[in-house]
Amino acid sequence: MKILGVDPGLAALGYGLLASDGPRLTLVVHGVLRTKRRHGLAIGRDLALRIGELARAFERVLDEHRPDEAAIEEFRFYGKSVTSSLQVANVVGMLREALRSRGISAAEYSARDIKRAVTGSANASKAQVQKLVKLHLGMTDLPRPEHAADALAAAITHVQRSRLARATERSS
């Protein structure tokens, strides 16, 4: 089973793919897809071009690695920046559609749930998440950049939740 974790963002979209074979998790690939603002364009036009770039790059990742399932860090608006929140919401919509069109089921987990699953604390720092992702996956170096580490943490969370759900079903 291959699980793709995604940390959505317009400037930097983190992704990480894990292979799950029974109790063992293996890192397949991780990275970040990046876009840059085009100065001189209207915000809406710039957003459309950047979402298109991300969509093509994300589809290449999907086509190359063919994940079975996906885990997306859930988007939540906290009233800080309406513009950036709308941008991320558009990215999440693109992700959902790219996954849906390939028949890949996607679960979404809050940042707090991901931190709790990976570190044991919903208030863990980015550095703590990186260290625990490294430990969970038996990596020699910290996963970098942070967006890729967050995506791997989402995938780890999904594997843990799926295992728990299967164990609960068997015991019922």
Beta bridge partners of 4: 17, 70
73 is catalytic: yes
7 is catalytic: yes
The one catalytic residue among 73, 108, 150, 158: 73
For residues 8 and 28, give the distance between their C-alpha atoms in angstroms, rounded to a whole number: 19
The one catalytic residue among 69, 147, 150, 158: 147
CA dihedral of 135, 140, 142, 143, whole degrees rounded to 10: -90
> Contact 4/16 with Cβ under 8 angstroms?
yes
> Contact 33/101 with Cβ under 8 angstroms?
no
150 is catalytic: no
Catalytic residues: 7, 73, 147
